[in-house]
Amino acid sequence: MKAHELRDLSLTELEARLKDEQKSLVDFRFNKAIAGQIENPARIKNTRREISRLKTVINEKLSAE
């Protein structure tokens, strides 16, 4: 999801998405450690970027208040 799309969401929705993304990142890393490889390694990078986007938008909303 793009940053401008994330800015339309409420703070609680952003925090829920952040929690989901962090959980999926842990799952990806766990699967990589156990299986040795995952079917799409770029998903780890994309998930990390999405987490960063979410944190940035959350901080913007908190500082605007």
**How is the chain split into domains, by residue range?**
3-64
Helix, strand or coil, per DSSP, at residue 1: coil
- Give me the CATH code for the 3-64 domain, please: 1.10.287.310
| Residue 1 scores a pLDDT above 80 | no
Q: Which of 6, 2, 1 is nearest to 61 (CA)?
A: 6
Q: Which of 31, 29, 25 is nearest to 49 (CA)?
A: 25
Position 5 scores a pLDDT of: 86
Tell me if 51 sits within 8 A of 21, measured CB to CB.
Answer: yes
| Residue 65 scores a pLDDT above 80 | no
Tell me the per-residue pLDDT of 13-59, one tens digit each, with 9 for 90 and over.
999 999 999 999 999 999 999 988 888 889 999 999 999 999 999 99
